[in-house]
Amino acid sequence: MRSINNTSINFGLVNVAVKVYAATENHDVKFHQRHGGQAGCRGLLGRQNVCKDCGQVVEFGDIVKGFDVDGATVILTGDELAAVENEAGKALEVVQFVHAEEVDPMLLQAPYYLEPSAASLSGYALLREVLTETDRVGMVRYTHRGRTHLAVLRCAGAVLVLHNIAWPDELRAPEFAILTRKVTLEPKAVKMATQLVESMMATFDGAELVDVYQRRPMAGSRMCRICWPRLRRRSNGTRPARAAASRRPSGRRPSVRRWPARRRPARRWRDERLCSHRG
């Protein structure tokens, strides 16, 4: 893994230097916009930054950051943004320790692994031991990329994990008027639903859950013999050829070629359901 930041954990008089690593990675298929159409060359499309007021193309070096206040536009330079970030501090400042159940799961966001430096290993182990023995988590505040973040510092085995959470005022209230309506539930329906839930109970194992939507475009030769030729024709920029006009004499039924029993292809990947032709 590649670290995304070098920082330190500060709590009291203890300072622990750590490296930050993203704990998750995105496996989604990245689609790119390309030149299509009848005369398209299938090349990648580029974008330009165009000013909405004057219509001119703006170079990357001329782009600045700003915000609107009472109808006026305030522009901040790179030095001003850096000064604000340095004033807030980039270290992971532990502001308090709380019980883990006090943190609302709806606030949880991206997790990050924290790796200690060789000189900070003892302080890292001390903090890990304290969090484990007391069954507490640390509430951390830090600044990164021009924004102040709130996070939870907890143990996950031998590693400390920094779990970003949303600020409490960022969580919107579910104001749905339909939820105020009174609903009468039949006892029989509740009993049947409860039995269904009990029959579907299992031990959670994320490896058994397959992202079918992500696997379908990348399935390649793992598709069935119907879908794979279609995907190859699309990637080559050609379209499936239309069937030629029938030349057989009228009144005769077309011959159907079937797979011999000994040469019939094995039905692999039945559990992944990569295409609609495989049951």
Phi-psi region of 64 (alpha: psi -120 to 50; beta: other; left: phi over 0): beta
Helix, strand or coil, per DSSP, at residue 213: helix
| Tokens 């009990």, located at residue | 198
Tokens of 81: 């943004």
Greatest alpha-carbon pair distance for the chain in Å reads 94
Count how many domains the chain has: 1
Q: Can you give the pLDDT at residue 203? A: 87
Q: Is the pLDDT reported for residue 191 higher than 80?
A: yes
Q: Could you report the per-residue pLDDT of 127-183, keeping only the tens digit for each? A: 999 999 998 999 999 888 778 889 999 999 899 999 999 988 888 888 899 999 999
Mean per-residue pLDDT for 250-261? 54
pLDDT one-digit tens code per residue, 49-65: 999 889 899 988 888 88
Residue 231 has pLDDT above 60, yes or no: no
Place of tokens 């159907």: 256
Instruction: Identify the H or E element spanning 151.
Output: strand 147-156
149 within a domain of the structure (yes/no): yes
The structure tokens 């330009």 sit at 48
More confident residue, 176 or 223: 176
Does 108 fall in a domain? Answer: yes
pLDDT reading at 241 higher than 90? no
At residue 137, the pLDDT reads: 93
* Domain-embedded: residue 75: yes
For 21, the token pair is 């690593």
175, part of any domain:
no
108-116/159-165 β-pairing:
antiparallel
Distance CA 63, CA 65 (A): 7
Tell me if 111 is assigned to some domain: yes
pLDDT band at 83 (very low <50, low <70, confident <90, very high): confident
Residue 99: inside a domain: yes
CA distance 141 to 94: 7
pLDDT at residue 274 greater than cutoff 70: no
Query: Any long-range contacts for 121-127 (C-beta under 8 Å, 24+ apart)?
Result: 123/14, 123/15, 123/16, 124/16, 124/18, 124/160, 126/14, 127/9, 127/11, 127/14, 127/16, 127/160
Instruction: State how far the Cα of 102 lies from the Cα of 104, in Å rounded to an integer.
Output: 6
Asked if residue 53 lies in contact with residue 39, where contact means CB atoms within 8 angstroms, the answer is: no
At 267 the pLDDT is 46
Residue 275 — very low, low, confident or very high, per pLDDT cuts 50/70/90?
low
Q: pLDDT confidence of 252, banded at 50, 70, 90? A: low
Arithmetic mean of pLDDT, 107-122: 92
Q: Decide if 105 contacts 171 (C-beta within 8 A).
A: no
- pLDDT band per the 50, 70, 90 thresholds, residue 188: very high
Average pLDDT over every residue of 209-234: 59
Q: How many CA atoms lie within 13 A of 10 on its CB side?
A: 9
User: What domain range includes position 107?
Assistant: 5-25+57-170
Residue-by-residue DSSP string for 85-130 = HHHH-SSEEEEEEEEGGGS-GGGEEEEEEEEE-GGGHHHHHHHHHH
Q: State the pLDDT at residue 215.
A: 65
pLDDT of residue 246 exceeding 50, the answer is no
Q: Which of 210, 209, 215, 243 is nearest to 227 (CA)?
A: 215
Coil vs helix vs strand at 179: helix
Domain of 137, CATH number, reads 2.40.290.10
**pLDDT tier, 270 (very low <50, low <70, confident <90, very high otherwise):** very low
pLDDT digits (tens, 9 = 90+) for 14-71: 888 999 988 877 766 777 888 888 888 888 888 889 998 898 999 888 888 888 888 8
Is residue 265 in a domain? no
Which pLDDT belongs to residue 153?
94
204: in domain = no
